Amino acid sequence: MRFDVITLFPELFEPHLIHGITRRAYESAQVDVRLWALRDFADGQYRRVDDRPYGGGPGMVLLAEPLERALAAVRAGRDGDAVGAADAVHTRAPVIHFTPTGRRIDQALVREIAAGPGAVLLCGRYEGIDQRVLDRHVDVELSLGDFVLSGGELPALALLDAVARLQDGVLGDAHSHQQDSFSDGLLEGPHYSRPENLVTDDGSLPIPPVLLSGHHGRIARWRREQSLALTARRRPDLIVLARAAQQLSAEDERFLASLGIY
């Protein structure tokens, strides 16, 4: 899949693409990332890409014309690659704009994007993007959460990372992402490693004995209950959704009842 990123700061992406475990996805081109510097599509000596908003107000707005040129170049590049691939099935990639007013990114959406042709990632800056560009080109608006960032680069990086780790062969264990938080609708429980008994100034901290039992069924049940307990405390809304989707067993319900929460 291919992601075309339109940004004022392509240099923010380059370190991410060559470090960490997800670099395998980029090196293999399972996730093919193309960076498009918005200033390359601006006019004039100073390559200006922003101006004051009509109607007054604080901040600057990214201009429509450089964005129109950049999007046209991206489309031409994607179309050219599709024609050049003998067995390619060309599916129009959606244009994604990152904004606090967008849909919050979640794991279900990440899986959906990871199964598609990729996307054009439009990273805004300053006060925003000329609305006419958004109306003409944007298919989806996404947000990391209910807070404001300086631009769309961080959400774009987060989305690329989340998609990359779902690709075959990227993680050391092919089943790792299947146990992540939200993969089954719940938060992931705690993990422990060596030493078996951690000695600190506050005393000894042994790992839970069940993890040493060698009884796979008991360990699996313990992990499920830890996941349920953590989710009930921190994200009770996810318990409600899991119950509505009939993802909780009778044993799960008994355990939740024993917590005194449900």
> Does the pLDDT value for residue 222 go beyond 80?
yes
Question: Torsions phi, psi of 31, nearest 5?
Answer: -120, 100
Query: Are 10 and 131 part of one and the same domain?
Result: yes
Cross-strand pairs, 6 = 36, 122
CATH number assigned to the domain comprising residue 156: 3.40.1280.10
- Give the CA dihedral 50, 54, 56, 62, nearest 10 degrees: -20
Mean pLDDT of 118-130: 95
Q: Please report whether residue 169 resides in a domain.
A: no
| 141 and 63 fall within a common domain | yes
Name the active-site residue from 2, 78, 125, 165: 165
Q: With 90 as the cut, is the pLDDT of residue 99 above it?
A: yes
Last residue of a domain, one of 164, 198, 230: 164
Same domain? For 101 and 129 the reply is yes
My answer on whether 30 and 136 are in the same domain is yes
Same domain, 10 and 138: yes
What confidence tier does 124 reach under pLDDT thresholds 50, 70, 90?
A: very high
- Residue 259 falls in which region: left (phi positive, over 0), alpha (psi -120 to 50) or beta: alpha
Is the residue at 137 inside a domain? yes
Domain that holds residue 214: 181-258
* Band of pLDDT at residue 224, cut at 50, 70 and 90: very high
pLDDT (0 to 100) of residue 85: 57
Mean pLDDT for 8-16 is 96
Whether residue 235 lies inside any domain: the answer is yes
Do both 186 and 159 map to the same domain? no
Catalytic residue among 100, 111, 161, 221: 100
- Per the domain annotation, does 173 fall within a domain? no
Question: Are 158 and 220 part of one and the same domain?
Answer: no
- Point out the catalytic residue in the list 127, 141, 161, 184: 127
Does residue 102 form part of some domain? yes
Annotated active-site residue 117? The verdict is no
Helices (H), the chain: 14-18, 23-27, 64-84, 107-114, 131-137, 153-164, 216-234, 236-244, 250-258
Q: Quick one: 100 and 230 in the same domain?
A: no
100 is annotated as an active-site residue = yes
Does 6 share its domain with 116?
A: yes
Distance between CA 222 and CA 135 in Å, rounded? 50
In a domain, 172, yes or no: no
Of 23, 36, 35, 33, the residue nearest 2 (C-alpha): 33
Q: Mark which of 164, 199, 232 sits at the end of a domain.
A: 164
Distance CA 29, CA 1 (A): 8
Shared-domain flag, residues 116 and 190? no
Q: Is the pLDDT of residue 128 over 70?
A: yes
Give the DSSP letter string of 90-146: --PPPEEEEEEEEEEP-HHHHHHHHTSSEEEEE--BTTEE-HHHHHHH-SEEEESSS
**Domain boundary pick from 164, 196, 212:** 164
Q: Give, for 50, the enclosing helix (H) or strand (E).
A: strand 50-51
In a domain? residue 37? yes
Whichever domain contains 230, its CATH number is 1.10.1270.20
Catalytic residue among 180, 184, 188, 225: 180
Whether 53 is a known active-site residue: answer no
The predicted structure's pLDDT at residue 185: 84
Q: Are 22 and 164 in contact (CB under 8 A)?
A: yes
**Total count of domains within the chain:** 2
134 and 243 within one domain: no
**Radius of gyration of the chain from Cα atoms?**
23
Quick one: 154 and 223 in the same domain?
no
Provide mean pLDDT across the span 187-200: 94
Tell me, yes or no, whether 146 lies in a domain: yes
The pTM for the full model equals 0.84
Residue 217: CB atoms within 10 A of its CB come to: 8
